[in-house]
Amino acid sequence: MTRMNAQVEQALEILKSGGPESMDRAIESLQGAVYAFGMKVCGHPEDAEDTAQETLVRLARSLRDFPDARALAVWLYKVAKTQCLMSRRKSKFAPAQMLSLDALMPDHQVGSPAAPKSWAITPEEVVLHRESRERLERAVLALPKPYRLVLILRDMEQLDTREVAEVMEISEDTVKMRLHRARVFVRNELEKYFSKKERARS
């Protein structure tokens, strides 16, 4: 939980410092991390703001009760996850119709019919090209939210499988299954896109 843990550690240090404003400053220090997570999952600024606000309001009631940074980080992800699942607005990248679970299975018409290949592009290329980032965002936001959340928690937030299972309140086997399907779908979407671009250049 690299990103969230850094913010959580900072918040707990602020609390330890004491003072009448320590609670407010501790909660404020977590706002950016919670909002960023909301944007990845919800894909809409207003939903991300609602998620951050509701999560931090609830946190204010019990911040001093958490024994350590990990417990607090897991709690934050759980509450933010619940709020994002309730979000109503749609990102500009969201699909007009939600995918069925069958759509998350490997597309054997793309790439090798054997085991899933590695990503068609490197993470550095995705970061460098705005068009690639938008295509990646479209693919992630096309996932049903339970699959999207697992992908974001595992690959973007860098939680391990056990932590993702705890946040999502599902088994580790279910995490692995959803993660595999989500990765295959996103990879195939990127492969389709870059194959089209390559054919256009040719």
Query: ∠ at Cα 127 (121, 133), nearest 5°?
Result: 80
Query: ∠ at Cα 168 (190, 44), nearest 5°?
Result: 55
Which pLDDT belongs to residue 196? 81
From residue 66, alpha-carbon distances to 51, 148, 149, 175, 191 in Å are: 20, 28, 24, 26, 44
Question: Please, what are the domains in the chain?
Answer: 2-85 (1.10.1740), 101-201 (1.10.10.10)
Q: What's the pTM?
A: 0.74
Which pLDDT belongs to residue 90? 52
Per-residue pLDDT of the chain (202 residues; tens, 9 = 90+): 556 778 888 888 898 888 778 899 999 999 998 999 988 888 888 989 999 999 999 998 888 888 888 888 899 999 999 988 887 655 444 444 444 444 444 443 344 334 444 444 455 555 446 777 788 888 898 898 899 999 999 998 889 999 999 999 999 999 999 999 999 999 998 888 888 877 777 7
DSSP type of residue 154: I
- For residue 176 the two structure tokens come to 């692995």
Are 165 and 71 spatial neighbours (Cβ–Cβ below 8 Å)?
Answer: no
